[in-house]
Each structure stands twice: as structure tokens, then as C-alpha cells.
């Protein structure tokens, strides 16, 4: 990420540490964004008891979403959001 973008996401080592120490790994879902066998991005979906305090019940929240600096501007972020929406519709149809 560009230095000015770092303020919007936690460092990856912190994110992975939190995921490893999570008491409810079934409620936090890490995903890699892969294009042509290359990881270009990453994000985490949270649900139920793993939701942040500000989120209303019955939703899934998106966290730590990033697309690598060299891959930005190619539509990967936009495509990822579409895939996230489809994943939620397919795997969690009760989510608003």
C-alpha cells in the first residue's frame, strides 16, 4: 500500500496475529484476492459475535481490505467487492 493508505487498515502482521488468537475462528473469514496465481489483495469478513460494536446485528462487515500497490487501478478492488457480495448471498442468505 501507499504510505497514505496505511492509516485505513491495520498492518498485516497485526491482522494475522488477531486471526490466530481468535476464540471464534468460524466467525472471521480471511480471504486472499488472487489473479493469475498471484496474491494481489486481502480482506476479512466478520459476522455474529465477531462483529464490531458499531455494527447492527444480522450483518457481515468487511475489514482490512487492501489491494497491493502495483495492482491498484486495474479493477481488482471493484471485482472483489462484487465477489464478496455474491459470497454473502450464497453462503449467508439471511444477511441483509
Render pLDDT for 58-88 as a digit per residue (tens, 0 to 9): 999 999 999 999 999 999 999 999 999 999 9
Q: Residue 47 in contact with residue 95, Cβ under 8 Å? A: yes
Q: What is the CATH number of the domain that holds 11?
A: 3.40.630.30
Please give the pLDDT value at position 65: 93
Q: Which residues contact 76 (CB under 8 A, 6 or more apart)?
A: 33, 35, 40, 41, 67
Instruction: Show the domain range for 12.
Output: 3-91
96 belongs to a structural domain: no
pLDDT for residue 12? 66
Q: Is residue 52 part of a domain?
A: yes
* pTM summary value: 0.81
Q: What percent of the chain is predicted at pLDDT more than 70?
A: 83
Whether the pLDDT of residue 6 is over 80: the answer is no
Question: In the chain, how many domains are there?
Answer: 1
Amino acid at each position: 500500500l501507499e504510505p497514505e493508505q496505511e492509516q485505513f487498515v491495520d498492518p498485516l502482521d497485526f491482522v494475522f496475529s488477531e486471526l490466530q488468537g481468535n476464540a471464534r475462528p468460524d466467525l472471521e473469514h480471511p480471504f486472499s484476492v488472487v489473479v493469475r496465481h498471484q496474491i494481489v489483495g486481502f480482506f476479512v469478513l466478520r459476522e455474529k459475535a465477531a462483529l464490531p460494536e458499531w455494527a447492527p446485528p444480522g450483518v457481515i462487515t468487511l475489514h482490512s481490505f487492501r489491494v497491493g500497490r502495483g495492482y491498484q487501478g486495474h479493477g481488482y478492488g471493484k471485482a472483489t467487492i462484487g465477489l464478496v457480495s455474491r459470497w454473502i448471498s450464497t453462503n449467508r442468505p439471511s444477511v441483509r
